[in-house]
Amino acid sequence: MKVEILSRKFIKPSTLTHHSLRDHKISFIDELAPSMNVPIILYYPAQCNNDAAKNASLFNQLEKSLAETLTQFYPLAGRYIKDDHVIYCNDQGVDYVEARVDVQLLEFLDHGDNKPQFFNQFIPRETGAVDETTDPLLSIQLSMFECGGLAVGVSIAHRIADASTLSTFLNAWAIASRVGIDNVTVHPSFNSVFIPGRNLPALNLGIPRSGDNGAKTRMFFFNKKAISTLRTKASTDNDNKGKRGPTRVLLVSAVIWRALVAVAQAKHGHPRASGVLQTINLRKKTVPPLPEHSCGNFWGLAMTGCMGDESRMELQGFVDLIGAAIRNTVTDSANVLSLGEDGHMKLIKAFIEANQNFSNAKMDSYLFTSWCRFPFYEIDFGWGKPVWTSLVSVPVKNFICLMDNKEGDGIEAWVFLDEKDMVDFEQDQTIRAFTT
């Protein structure tokens, strides 16, 4: 497969950002977010059957609506000044690329999930190319397949956005493209006054600015039937028949962690301390609640661990550990805003401890994040909803991202591990039994 770049330029907001908004101070969670671009690719079936005139009209529509949408999402067109922890909203623009692909979309979808390195050709920036004044905060690539199918690849700096912000922006852009900017009902709020910055260090995931670091990427699909079976198994382990079982995100997280504990024990020949950090979206959990379309980073970390001897703990044990950590973090998060300094420190301490765990050679730490229920499959630019959404191969080790499948009843688990660990993880009996 070959992806040929046809054009590259910067798209600026259609209306200049007011001078009073030029300096956007980021929040302390923005500061703590890892130095990386957050990627996603949306795949759409053919609309124009490779008709040159219709394709040109389609691309012009996307470009115009993007410029209009950026007037509301103005920080995304600025640049980060890391010494000052400020987004300079100077309307410098977002990186905008048009490309063509020499294969059919269906051909790629039939085989591409086994070669995640191919996905990287659909986004315009590397994962670690961030936080310098020359780095765009938002980059977009439109890749047209031979059949007229389209991949919309988006890369957004974690310094100013999380998955929720990415979803909010893409849905607003899609509405503007489909029915016009005047009909966009998404009203983003870039307001860090709730949790002002403190000049804190970023969560260190060891991501190089360019190239890779030996990390291996694989996607494992847990379908509806597998999740139902796992829920029954977890309930049986804990004699919870008749009670509402754990969520699919909690189940899949527990299954993956249990397999990782087994991989680590086999690798080292003895039980190892193992920790899980689970990201928690704070938007609907604070009192008072944050604005519906709060943009930036608004997430905390739920943390738990075990000593590593998986033979002593069934699936339900891992479910219980993660579930309890999430409930405790949600409870603590309710008072993040109302408690002021004390509330802020509860969040900050978790990030500090996370950095300590990742640098602890005697402990294996894994970062889990869930993008499930974010409406990526609702993003309709005017030619229908995506047939698939994917991540890319990123140079991050011990990272797991969970995403919905198109039907919303299964989970696609994107797992990023050391290459040798990935080989062993793929051979885990439970992983082999419950995934495709």
Q: What is the CA radius of gyration of the chain?
A: 22
| Sign of CA pseudo-dihedral 330, 335, 340, 345 | negative
3-194 shares its CATH topology with 215-434: yes
Q: Give the C-alpha distances (Å, rounded to integers) separating 106 from 43, 151, 307, 377, 425.
A: 10, 12, 45, 18, 29
Residue 402: closest CA among 430, 366, 378, 429? 366
Return the pLDDT at 116.
Answer: 75
Per-residue confidence (pLDDT) for residue 192, from 0 to 100: 84
- What CA–CA distance (Å, rounded) separates 217 from 400? 10
| Residues facing residue 367 across a β-bridge | 277, 399
Can you give the residue ranges of every domain in the chain?
Answer: 3-194, 215-434
Q: Answer yes or no: are the C-beta atoms of 189 and 295 closer than 8 Å.
A: yes
Q: What is the CATH number of domain 3-194?
A: 3.30.559.10
Range scoring the smallest mean pLDDT among 58-72, 95-109, 165-179, 226-240: 226-240
What's the pLDDT at 309?
A: 64
Residues 6+ apart with CB under 8 A from 389: 40, 41, 42, 43, 376, 377, 403
pLDDT of residue 382: 93
Q: What percent of the chain has pLDDT over 90?
A: 80
Cβ–Cβ < 8 Å for 381, 177: yes
A 10 A CB-CB count for 264 gives 21
Tell me the mean pLDDT in the region 280-306: 92
Q: Which residue has the higher pLDDT, 112 or 87?
A: 87
**How long a stretch of residues is the chain?**
436
H/E segment holding residue 41 = strand 37-44
pTM of the predicted model, to two decimals? 0.95
* Least confident segment among 138-152, 241-255, 286-300, 383-397: 241-255
pLDDT higher than 70, residue 72: yes
Amino acid 42: pLDDT: 98
Q: What is the overall mean pLDDT for the chain?
A: 92
**Whole-angstrom Cα distance, residue 138 to residue 173?**
13
User: Which residue has better confidence, 194 or 105?
Assistant: 105
Q: Sign of torsion, CA 337 339 345 351?
A: negative
Report phi then psi at 405, rounded to 5. Answer: -85, 175
Looking at residues 367-396, what average pLDDT do you find? 96
Residue 75: what pLDDT?
Answer: 98
- Written as one string, the DSSP assignment of 296-364 is S--EEEEEEEE-S-GGG--HHHHHHHHHHHHHHHHHHHTTTTTTTHHHHHHHHHHHHHHHHHHT-TTEE
In 161-298, DSSP assigns E strands to: 215-222, 273-281
Mean pLDDT for 65-91 is 97
pLDDT at 432 over 80: yes
Distance CA 246, CA 235 (A): 9
Question: Distance of alpha carbon 349 from its chain centroid, rounded?
Answer: 22
| pLDDT at 114 (0 to 100) | 58
Can you tell me the mean pLDDT for 83-94?
A: 97
Question: Given pLDDT bands bounded at 50, 70 and 90, which one contains residue 8?
Answer: very high
Q: What is the pLDDT of residue 338?
A: 80
334 is written with which tokens? 């309710």
Distance (Å, whole) CA 353 – CA 34: 14
Domain made up of 215-434: CATH architecture: 2-Layer Sandwich (3.30)
Specify the pLDDT at position 238: 58
Q: Match 């490779």 to its residue by tokens.
A: 50
Q: Which pLDDT value is given to residue 311?
A: 52
Collect all residues with Cβ–Cβ distance below 8 Å to 64 and sequence separation of at least 6: 14
pLDDT average, residue stretch 133-159: 96
Q: Are 65 and 170 in contact, with CB atoms under 8 Å apart? A: no
pLDDT of residue 233: 86
At 74-83, the pLDDT tens digits run: 999 999 999 9
Q: What is the SS3 assignment for 52?
A: helix
Q: What is the pLDDT of residues 112-145, one digit of tens each?
A: 555 777 899 999 999 999 999 999 999 999 999 9
- Say what the pLDDT of residue 240 is: 53
Q: Cβ(204)–Cβ(355) under 8 Å?
A: yes
Give me the active site residues, please: 158, 380
Mean pLDDT computed over 58-70: 96
